[in-house]
Every structure is written in C-alpha cells, then in structure tokens.
Amino acid sequence: MIEYIPFIAVVAMILIGLYAVMFRRNLIKIVIGISIIESGVNLFLIILGYRDGGVAPIFTSLPPGTKYPEEMVLPVPQALTLTSIVIGVAVLALMLSLVMHIYRKYGTLDVQKIRRLKE
C-alpha cells in the first residue's frame, strides 16, 4: 500500500482538477482546475521514472561509488515532464488572456452567464 501513495496523490490531483472544471462557476477557478490536472499528470510521469535510492542522471561530480544505471532515476520521464510543463505554461498564458478579454466583454466571470453561443 505504502508504495502506491504517490499514485493515489496523482489520482487525487486529477480528480480535484476535474471537479473544479465541472462544478466551479468562476472562469479563473476552471483555469486553476486545468492547471491542477496538468500538475497531476506531470507528477504521474515523474513518479513512473523513480528508482529507489536513485540519484539524478547527471555525471558531473557524481558521488563516487554510484553504480549506474541501477542507481540512477530514469531520464526520459523527466524530459517528458519538462515538455509538458512548457506546454502548460503556454496554455495557461493563452487561457488567462482570453479570460481577461471575456471579463471586459461580458462583465462577469460566471461560466453560467458566459453562454451566448448555445443551442
């Protein structure tokens, strides 16, 4: 059980984010919800690549006596997470600038009132 706690944290984060997107009415909170989902997925990728007692896969001044590859964490998930974080920043910037404009046009941030496009 104890070794699955990080995975439970991942699921909890994804579900909290999904809850915010589904049931919160404020646009900013929806944006925050998407950010939380993204953090959860990033955490998921990172914990997939962890090896017990591993060090970062960097050879500069590596502690002497470290056996590699057995004592290094996996590098690929870290690279994927890096990509994913930058994607998250880009999405966040675009979403927040849209929210700024929507607030000026609609005068509200309530998602139930921002629905001129329906039916």
Partner 1 sequence: MTFLEALLQHSPALVIATPLLSAFLLPLVGRINAKVRDVFALVMLGVTCCFVGLLASDVLSHGPRVYIFGAQNLNVPLVRILFEVDSMGIFMAIITVMLAVIAVIYSWSFLRREDGLDKYYTLLLLVVTSALGMELTGDIFNFFVFLEISCIASCALIAFWVAEGEALEAAFKYIVISSVGALFILFAIGIFYAQYNALNIATLAHLLQFTFLDKFALVILLVSLGMKAGLAPMHMWLPDTYGRAPPSIVLIIMSATLASFYGILRVVFTFYGNVLTTSLRFSLPAHVVIGWILIALAIVSILIGVIMALVQTDLLRLIGYVAVAEIGYMFLAIGASVASLGAPYATVALHGGILHIFNDAVDIGLLFLVAGAIYYVTKKRSLDDISGLARTMKFTTIFFMIGLLAVAGMPPLNGFTSKFLIYESVYQLNPILSIIALLGSILLLAIFVKVLYAAFLGSELPALKGVTEAPKSMLLAMGFLAGFAIFIGLFPNLLLDTLVKPAASALLDHAQYISMVVGGL
Partner 2 sequence: MTKIVKTTANILFPFTMIFGLYVIAHGHLTPGGGFQGGAIVVSGCALLLVAYGSSWVFDRIKDKRLAAFESLGAIGFITIAFLGLVFSAVFFGNFLAGSETIFGTTPATGSTLSDFNTGGVLPLMNFAVGVKVIAGLFVIVLVMAYASSIKELS
Partner 3 sequence: MDNRTVAGILVFSIVAVFFLFSVFLIHPFGEPGPVQMDDYIITHTQNETGTNNGVTAVVFDYRGFDTLGEATILFSAVAGVLLIFRKVRH
Binding site for partner 3 (CB under 8 A): 3-8, 10-11, 14-15, 18-19, 22-23, 47-52, 56-60, 68-69, 72, 74-76, 78-80, 82-83, 86-87, 89-91, 93-94, 97-98, 101
- Give the side-chain half-sphere CA count within 13 A for 19: 6
- Helix orientation angle between 27-48 and 5-23, rounded to the nearest 10 degrees: 160
CB 100 → partner 3: shortest distance, Å? 9
Binding site for partner 1 (CB under 8 A): 14, 18, 21, 27, 30, 34, 37-38, 41, 44-45, 48, 76-77, 80, 83-84, 87, 90-91, 94-95, 98-99, 101-102, 105-106, 114-117, 119
